[in-house]
Structure 1
Amino acid sequence: MQLFAKPQASADNQKTVIAQAHTMNTAKTVLAALLISLAMPAWSEVYRHVDEDGNVTYSDEPREGAEEIKVKPVTTVTLPKQEDIGTIEIRSSGEENTNNAPYERIEFRSPEDEESFWSGSGDIALQVSSTPSLKEGHMYEVTLDGQPVGQSTSGRFTLENVFRGTHEARVSVVDSRGRPVQQGESITFTLHRPSVQTPPFPQQN
């Protein structure tokens, strides 16, 4: 009984191998047909040919015994180059910011940019404005050397005991929750304060 079992198993294995090979050939044939159809222009003609061994091939060139197949139109999309994408994104972002900006200008009225002045106490007054005028729910915010120093709807700020030297001030508009709305201009100014080495006015004899 065992002597006859081996040939049966061998025959079963051969059938399994043949079935797997047939399945792989069918899958390859379908894949090839799909790739060819995708590569064809819209409404192109594809020819299907079956040889004497049952092998199916697809081609865009007619041959004897081949069957013509109508391929549905394929939608094609031409993607832009990577460098073009970057240019488009930057340009669109800039245009959007310009068009949607609620203010044309947000600027300092005083002091002027690069102005130099004296203050014995170190107190200085800043005044800012915008065009158009400040909208409802918005406030001006001023920073000095990168640090927020106050918010105001009037556009007037008083800074106390500012150290002598050159400083940078920047104004922006924020909403009622302090979230940035639009950034304005920045200026630099130099503050002089009297000291033993630098009296506020020249001494008179």
Structure 2
Amino acid sequence: MRSLTLISLLLLSTLAQATVYKWIDKDGKVHYSDEPHPNAQIVELKDKTLNQVALPAAQVNPDTRPSFEEIRYSVNITSPEEEATIRDNNGEFEVIATITPEIKSQYLMVLKLDGKPIGPPQMGGIFKLTHVERGEHILIAEVMTQNGKVFASSSPRKIFLHQAALKPTPKKQPKSN
């Protein structure tokens, strides 16, 4: 069965190479067809007619490609807002930072709370903070390369974290005379 299929495919491939005819009509237009026409000439096609386009190799000059240092990136903490008051008894909240212009390659971000990094550098700018003590805090987001070199950072963002008192303070009783 395989040999029959192979033979029929070979026969079809030879028939697929039809003869091409060329003729010129009364208006001087040149026509091509696979059917014979009066005054038509047979066009002989070369067996190995290949169209090859050779493109020059792309040349990347390292001096003209901008580096992280040459591009001015802007890091912005979009949430929470400046001097926002966050009320959470567990000290949990989310910080969102963005960078512009957008970077196509991989980069890392780190969030600093009061000058100290919160966790290891991560991909992306969404940070979930837990167990933060109440009070005033300063947030800074930094963007760095994969090898740890910081190339952009946000301006400091001041926030306030309020927590309900764990132990209620006793109210002073008015003195009676």
Q: Structure 2 length normalisation: TM-score?
A: 0.51
Following the alignment from structure 1 to structure 2, what is the Cα–Cα distance between the partners of residues 159 and 196?
Answer: 20
Q: Residue 113 of structure 1 is aligned with which of 77, 82, 94?
A: 82
Greater relative contact order, per chain length (Cα 8 Å cut-off, separation 6+): 2
2:142 is the counterpart of 1:172: yes
- Cα RMSD, aligned residues only: 2.3
Question: Would the aligned equivalents of 2:95 and 2:128 in 1 still touch at CA under 8 Å?
Answer: yes
Residue by residue over 1:166-186, the C-alpha shift from the partner in whole angstroms, topping out at 9 and shown as x without a partner, is 000101111112221222222
- Unmatched 5+ stretches in structure 1: 1-98, 200-205
Length-normalised TM-score, structure 1: 0.45
The SS at the match of 1:112 is coil
Query: How far, CA to CA, are the matches of 1:122 and 1:107 in structure 2?
Result: 22
In the TM superposition, structure 1's runs of 4+ consecutive aligned residues that sit over 3 Å from their partners are: 196-199
Matched, 1:125 2:94: yes
Task: Using the TM superposition, give the Cα deviation of residue 102 of structure 1 relative to its aligned residue in structure 2, in angstroms.
Answer: 2.9
Spell out, residue by residue over 1:97-133, the C-alpha distance to the aligned partner (whole angstroms, 9 max, x if none): xx94434420101001111120121111000001112
Mapped contact 1:172–1:185 kept (Cα < 8 A) = no
Percent of matched pairs sharing the same residue: 24
Instruction: List alignment gaps of at least 5 residues for structure 2.
Output: 1-67, 170-177
Alignment check: 8 A CA contact 1:103 1:130 kept: no
Distance 1:103 1:116, change over 3 A: same
**How many Å apart are 1:138 and its aligned residue?**
1.3
Q: Evaluate the alpha carbon distance shift between residue 147 and residue 187 of structure 1 in structure 2; reply closer, same or farther with a 3 A threshold.
A: same
Which of 1 and 2 has greater Rg?
1
Contact 2:74 2:153 in 1 (8 A): no
